[in-house]
Structure 1
Amino acid sequence: MSASGSALEDILAAPLGLRERKKLKTRRAIRTAAFGLFVEQGYEATTVDQIAAAADVSPSTFFRYFPTKEDLVISDDYDPLMEASFRARPADEPLVDAIRAAMIGPLRQVLASEHDDMLLRMRLLRDVPAIRARSVVEQQRTADMLCRLLAERTGADPGGLAMRAVVASLLAAFSEAVMYWAEHDGEEDMADLLEAALTALADALRPVG
């Protein structure tokens, strides 16, 4: 299992101050300790106290960074990277190309540092009901972020049904690509799978004739 995620950590920490970098380091230490315990003894058998001890922090510190044990699995650094990537795209770029680049580029960054961790997370998401239930909250945050970003670029209503339907379709394609990748033991390139899923979605929605 990848233990450090140092390359991704460097990307995220670069624009941050010393205090924020220390927080990021602590957050990653907690997650690394937790994932090691999950592999060693299983998710259900691992307690917050054990994770805190392994990360050399107090339980109260753990809860400052992760409100629940499930948040260790469902929260990640992908959304901030995706948002920054989308905002950096040229304003006159076709929207579909901007979305594709903003979703796939950051995913490659995450996978380069956290391939094994992500595979573990996706397996836990598939297998642990409590994690699946908690993931709904995180999915809604991602959906709200995407609605806001696309609305800024298009001038559409971020809370309108059309926007919500588009974003829901994008997230469904992402979810299916990730789960397909996990079901096949992470052997294929997840970013390529996501690109194929987004292409399939675009093709299905393209007018006939």
Structure 2
Amino acid sequence: MADDLGLRQRKRRAAMTHVQQVGLDLFDAHGFDAVTIEQVAQAAEVSPSSVYRYFGTKAGLILVDADRTPAPAARRVPTRGDEHPVDLARRAVREYLGSQAVHTVSRRRVQYLMEVPAVQAEFSQRMIEWLHGTASEESAERASAAQFEAQTTWGAIFGTVLGALTYWYSTDYADPLLELVDDGLDRLRRGLGA
């Protein structure tokens, strides 16, 4: 039974990755704004409802990690005692970027994130929702001041990772992304004035 579940998950990931690759190819050929979900579905030989189920929106074709499962909320890296949020974020980023397959797709996806306002808007909305959920989980048993601290801490971490992505893109991917993120998180951990 566990083997059946694993097989289904692998098939779903493969299908999602295929749809995402087809979508990116169409965006590259025709521009993000000119391509519809229906066109992606037709080219990927799936139903439009499958594209919506996998990715939610057209911007989701860029923002959702097709090669990852389950959903992002269930993928959070577990904390280790009193682990500092920066160290927790570093572990999560290392886990995600540890796969070399991520980098080819990431370059294409980061390009759309940097260049397409609709993708930027959805990315920001998803991050706001993620920050709210993370801070709420982290401070569920504490006062609202702790929730504010958690939200601003995770907001700074998000900004640091976004800054690394922006720099990576603006330098034509010259430095390894993981090193840039590590450097940014090191600076954040030491304190911005240090």
Q: TM-score range by the shorter chain?
A: 0.7 to 0.9
Alignment of 1:62-73 (within 5 A): 62-73=51-62
Q: TM-score, normalised by structure 2?
A: 0.80
Q: How big is the alpha-carbon RMSD for the aligned residues of Structure 1 and Structure 2?
A: 2.9
5+ unaligned residues in a row in structure 1: which ranges? Answer: 1-13
Q: Which residue of 2 aligns with 1:20?
A: 9
Q: Which residue of 2 aligns with 1:131?
A: 119
Q: Which residue of 1 aligns with 2:28?
A: 39
Alignment of 1:138-177 (within 5 A): 138-147=126-135, 150-151=138-139, 156=142, 160-177=147-164
1:121-154 deviations in whole A, cap 9, x for unaligned? 11111211111111122112331353256448xx
* Closer/same/farther in 2, CA of residues 200 and 135 from structure 1, 3 Å limit: same
* Closer/same/farther in 2, CA of residues 15 and 170 from structure 1, 3 Å limit: farther
Contact preservation (8 Å) 1:100, 1:195: no
Identity of aligned residues (%): 22
Following superposition, the deviation at residue 65 of structure 1 comes to: 1.6
CA distance in structure 2 between the partners assigned to 1:16 and 1:40 by the alignment: 36
Give the length in aligned residue pairs. Answer: 187
* Closer/same/farther in 2, CA of residues 107 and 67 from structure 1, 3 Å limit: closer
Q: Which residue of 1 aligns with 2:182?
A: 195
CA distance in structure 2 between the partners assigned to 1:176 and 1:117 by the alignment: 19
Task: Give the alignment partner of residue 81 of structure 2, picking from 74, 83, 91.
Answer: 91
Contact preservation (8 Å) 2:26, 2:35: yes
Q: TM-score, normalised by structure 1?
A: 0.75
Following superposition, the deviation at residue 157 of structure 1 comes to: 5.2
5+ unaligned residues in a row in structure 2: which ranges? Answer: none
Following superposition, the deviation at residue 19 of structure 1 comes to: 3.1
